[in-house]
Structure 1
């Protein structure tokens, strides 16, 4: 169940096709540039285009095998269009100054897809649906890896993650992982609310179970693990140390 949270962070990385504007579309030279200038500054040939460049409806092929069909303004995608990557990824939606801006859908080659709002080439809010049916709905923010300088747009702020088994997490995200106040709701009716720390669903929470039992304490990988107290339906308290959901380990 944790796999899609991990995949979510990977799917949003620049290397998968969604990221900072400078990595998403700017490497393709503008039709408005002089050919020599484009080669010198970008190291790539200008696109081969059919239609009405540099402004109008066009079909273009870029060096490396990417293709674009849609509207051009001053030699760049602007307005509605479809950009197909050589690796099989595809973006359909609105562009401004050569990058996704406005409503759009990014379809990954593995059939995962993001639908929502883009701003300057990055995702800002919307829904990611994975091939296995799991999905994330919520906000995104641009983050930078201080070691590699890689920029990515990842879940951050308020969001919901729906697992294929029916479980769901609702709450705060940061850098693609649950982080902060949230609620984990199991398909059997178990409900754990508190503070979550990572994609493994480690947390400090208060849980209620369908049989009336409650648990207050630490979670690891979404189950009681660490110091906690189990409280039965009659109110009796059983404090202790838990391991993998089981009490009685000192």
Structure 2
């Protein structure tokens, strides 16, 4: 199943990286505070502390855009020393409004930011796979890391044309959803995790149906195959094939 939706795991990492970027932006000192915090002030050309500027920050980051009271505010471009960049709207030093975060490997997020975190939009991966939908702030109870992750209604598109659409929670499919294969197979039901474990009803292109459990997006566990004449064949399936009845 195309890596069993592991690319969605990458979407979560993208979200976490964006959160990290927002923290870096948020930590930029205002020009009135630099001396007291012991940080080197950025070198800026233009009209600081309020106006259009170009600034170079300690560590090699650059910013071009609008300043208000020494912080990015309005439209601007922030380029990180590692090659990542954010283009879009800022408010009080963090992304707020429409924007695009582009990673050096060409993965990118396009959508709406709120207080430095993404709220809705599209994550596009270098191989063409993408997630489109809603995000919410999630705290990892093990690491205490706070990040934006897929949550609410969303769609994940695979590079071969397959897609999952439905409910997400804390970065994983969780709730009602539909798995649609490029060959026309359609499985709808309740999904439980990134591995596409689920309890579903599937319709195949040849007219046969399957009702039961999925694991990694294929029949696995207790289920019933129903042929085109309506005959039912209950049993236990393993990796898409009938096993012990």
TM-score (norm 1): 0.94
Cα shift readout 1:81-104 (whole Å, capped 9, x = no counterpart): 000111111100000000000000
Task: Please give the alpha-carbon distance, in whole angstroms, between the structure 1 residues aligned to 2:234 and 2:93.
Answer: 60
Shift of 1:73: 0.2
The Cα of 1:3 is off from its aligned counterpart by 3.0
User: What is aligned with 1:4?
Assistant: 7
> What secondary structure is seen at the aligned counterpart in 1 of 2:242?
coil
1: distance between equivalents of 2:107 and 2:21?
20
Question: Aligned match of 1:193 in 188, 193, 205?
Answer: 188
SS in 2 for 1:50: strand
Offset at 1:6?
Answer: 1.7
Aligned with 1:102: secondary structure? Answer: strand
| 1:132 and 2:127 aligned | yes
Q: Distance in 1 between matches of 2:21 and 2:27?
A: 12
Contact 2:18 2:117 in 1 (8 A): no
Task: For 1:169-188, list aligned pairs within 5 A.
Answer: 169-188=164-183
Corresponding position of 2:203 = 208
Which of 78, 81, 95 is the matching residue for 2:76?
81
Aligned length: 242
Residue 18 (1) aligns with residue 19 (2): yes
Q: Equivalents in 1 of 2:64, 2:98: separation in Å? A: 17
CA RMSD after TM alignment: 1.3
Tell me what 1:245 maps to: 240
Match of 2:32 in 1: 32
Aligned-partner Cα distance in 1 for 2:113–2:68: 19
Residues 49 and 68 of structure 1, relative CA distance in 2, 3 Å threshold: same
Unaligned runs of 5+ in 1: none
Contact 1:206 1:216 in 2 (8 A): yes
Residue number in structure 2 paired with 1:230: 225
Q: Provide the C-alpha distance between the structure 2 equivalents of 1:86 and 1:132, rounded to a whole number of angstroms.
A: 24
Q: Give the conservation status (yes or no) of the 8 Å contact 1:19–1:151.
A: no
TM-score, normalised with respect to structure 2: 0.95
How far apart, in 2, do the equivalents of 1:179 and 1:77 lie? 37
Matched, 1:167 2:162: yes
Q: Distance in 2 between matches of 1:192 and 1:24?
A: 42
CA contact (8 A) 2:6 2:194 kept: no
Q: Secondary structure at the match of 1:149?
A: coil
Are the equivalent residues in 2 in contact too, given 1:20–1:152 (CA < 8 A)? no
Q: Tell me the alpha carbon deviations over residues 162-187 of structure 1, each in whole angstroms, 9 at most, x when there is no partner.
A: 10010000100112211110000000
Check whether the contact 1:124–1:139 (CA below 8 A) recurs between aligned residues: yes
Residue equivalent to 2:115: 120
Is the CA contact 1:17–1:24 (under 8 Å) kept in the aligned structure 2? no
* Cα distance in structure 2, aligned partners of 1:65 and 1:175: 34
